[in-house]
Amino acid sequence: MRKRTRPKDLVYIAVFFGLYFLHDLLAENLGYQINKGMSFGINLEAVQNWLMMLVLAINLYVFRGKLGMSVLASAALVNIADRIRFGGVRDYWNFMGLWVNNINDWIIGVGIVILLIEIWKENTR
């Protein structure tokens, strides 16, 4: 029996593509620099794409059905797509010279907060 696509799944796919096009638009209009490292300047160039996809796949399985994980995964996949396409993530927001990041970095943070709230609500029932 073939599994049907749920409308909720289509929303997640739309969120991913919407984020990707928004990220492209911001990068092209604001100017960008390529960031070859990971968070906090960690640089594992040879294995980071595979490592990130593995961690993402495991988390998608563990937290399946959670909105926070879907938001986080969509933004992370856009960053992975950038790494594959450009050899690094395009960062375009410079905050007072302290760090440079992009919209997906912020959305990953929002996804983590939503996920933590979902887990907390689940555990307090």
Q: What is the pLDDT of residues 26-83, one digit of tens each?
A: 988 988 888 877 665 556 565 666 666 777 777 777 777 788 888 888 888 888 888 8
Residue bearing tokens 């969120």: 15
Would you state the pLDDT for residue 121?
92
The predicted model gives 18-29 an average pLDDT of 88
- Residue 2 within a domain: no
- Residue 82 within a domain: yes
- Residue 73 within a domain: yes
With a CB cutoff of 8 Å and minimum separation 6, the contacts of 104 are: 19, 23, 75, 76, 78, 79, 89
Which residue range is the domain that position 56 belongs to? 7-123
The answer to whether the beta carbons of residues 96 and 83 sit under 8 Å apart is no
Question: Maximum distance among all alpha carbons in the chain?
Answer: 56
Would you state the pLDDT for residue 113?
92
- Residue 49 within a domain: yes
- Residue 1 within a domain: no
Q: Per the structure, how many domains does the chain have?
A: 1
**What is the pTM for the complete model shown?**
0.74
- Residue 60 within a domain: yes
- Residue 29 within a domain: yes
- Residue 37 within a domain: yes
